[in-house]
Amino acid sequence: MDATKVIIDTVDRIRQRRTAPLILELDLSEGLTDAPPTDPLSAITSMRKARLAEVLSGLKRARQDSRVKALIVKIGTNPLGLAMVQELRQAVIRFRAAGKLTVVFAETFGEFGAGTVPYYLASAFERVYLQPSGDVGLTGVSLEQRFVKGALGKLGVEYELAQRHEYKTAANMFTQDRMTEPHRESVTRMAASVTEQIVAGIADGRGLDPAKVRELVDQGPFIGAEAIDAGLVDKLAYRDEVYEETRRSAGDGAMLLYVARYHRHGLARKLPHPGEQVVALVQGHGPIKLGRSGRSPLGGGGAMGSDTICAALRAARRDDHVKAIVFRVDSPGGSYIASDSIWREVVLTREAGKPVIVSMGDVAASGGYFVSMAADVIIAQPGTLTGSIGVFGGKPVIGELLDRIGVTSETVSEGANAAMFSTAHGFSEAQWARVNAWLDRIYDDFVGKAAQGRGLTRERAHELARGRVWTGADARDGGLVDEVGGLEDALDLARKRAGLPVDAPVRTYPKLHPLERLRPPESSEDRAAALSRVRVEAWGPLAALAGELGLSPYGPLILPGTWTIR
């Protein structure tokens, strides 16, 4: 009897797992990653983070699944970038439009701190719950720039830097003690554009007048009871109460399942069969550098290596089963040479007759825009930071600092400019002329290729360039971006451009069998040559010192600081 009961109970549990209503769950406490693991170390460190692509694909499939009754999301304190939040909001809104219940819960939207972007995400849900002790830090958008010229001057450090042109403000923190007028103009417009997007999203999600939401932004932050009165939150409740109410709404016996697990359960049905036509997904994340993609073993994010990305694009281009390519770009830029190499592969892929659709993440600016601009179509979120078509370069001069601390140096050189990149002294007049010629050449190439790729006159491209950063919404209005949307929109468009079914599978490139990862590549065009490395390489002989002094070691086509709106 006991054995029979165990068997019956087991069968019942299996049947329940297959037939019970599902509540999909997404825990954002650990954040969300856009980039796939590029090496064993990053795979380990990102194990507990859900991947954006898996979440989007899972929610898309769930819209048509009658078993799925609801989605419940916990928003934590780990920040998400604005464009990623907009991608999630879009997925939630579409899930909700399919007649599914959407619930969001947060212990707090900012504990004695800002919580505008997390609350902006929450506003897309049908029910918004807040822990009774929590707050809503709806305080608006703030972009802060710090300047270190004065502090470095006291240490005896001077920077000799130049940029193309007035909006390329990467060098300003070292060469200025306050915002220049173009700098302030650019940042002011970015803050206004982001605020417009957030206000419109909250107003639409919460059924409020946009003018009222703008007033609430100026009145925040709010304690829980005030947030209820303002219509920002539906109910104050603890986690157990939120889950109990959601289960009642979903139906008897409803089971919880993480969205990523749900996606993987259905993945087997989506895997391409031998000979099936597919869309290739090539993902480029992090600063752009020469060589292979990789990351620092000491921490920090990964880098987009030109060898890796170029090899992936070549592999996809030469694969007869690949009919279109989506190139996901989330990068503040970096090396000009590396960016140009990737740009060339995009051009060759288009010339081969395969559509290339770029999907931009939180940031796709400077070099990140360079690698994108030759695509057939560029899709960005309204809050993506993009453009920054410009360049800067130069060096710190630390001779006075070295003298103060008693460090002396002597140099023996053969060649008038052999020591021009030494930080012990400034550029000579002739050397400075060479630096400026280098910057002019890069800027002219950048603007010319942007004009060619985007179908603009060179004069119009220069007007939009000059180093200026744009939000995705403003970039679309100017012609630097074609459409507003996310990764799923890019994949759908790629299928359409290639004449593929709406459910045609997606294959990530380069996709290597585990055994291929162990063997050395046979040539530079072998797929194994695209493997990532656990190391960071830099541009030029000054990389280590430039990194210590605040300059990016990745190259001259890069945004300064951390350009993520949270």
- Nearest residue to 93 (alpha-carbon basis) of 255, 211, 201: 201
Whether 168 sits among the annotated catalytic residues: the reply is: yes
| Chain CA centroid to CA 163, Å | 25
Whether 366 sits among the annotated catalytic residues: the reply is: yes
DSSP percent split of the chain into helix, strand, coil, nearest 5: 45, 20, 40
Active site residue: 60, 69, 100, 168, which one? 168
Burial class of 431 by CB neighbour count within 10 A (0 to 12, 13 to 18, 19+):
middle
Active site residue: 366, 372, 388, 422, which one? 366
Integer Cα distance of 289 and 287 in angstroms? 7
Residues in the chain: 566
- Partners of residue 392 on adjacent β-strands: 163
Cα distances (Å, whole numbers) of residue 215 to 138, 140, 203, 408: 11, 11, 11, 60
Query: How far is the first Cα of the chain from the last one, in angstroms, to the nearest whole number?
Result: 60
Q: DSSP for 207-224?
A: T--HHHHHHHHHH--EEH
Burial class of 320 by CB neighbour count within 10 A (0 to 12, 13 to 18, 19+):
exposed
Q: Work out the number of other CB atoms within 10 angstroms of the CB of residue 244.
A: 12
- CB burial string 112-149: b at 16+ within 10 A, e below: eebbbbbbbbbbbbebbbbbeebbbbbbbbeeeeeebb
Torsion region of 449: left, alpha or beta (phi above 0 gives left; psi -120 to 50 gives alpha): alpha
Catalytic positions, written as ranges: 168, 366
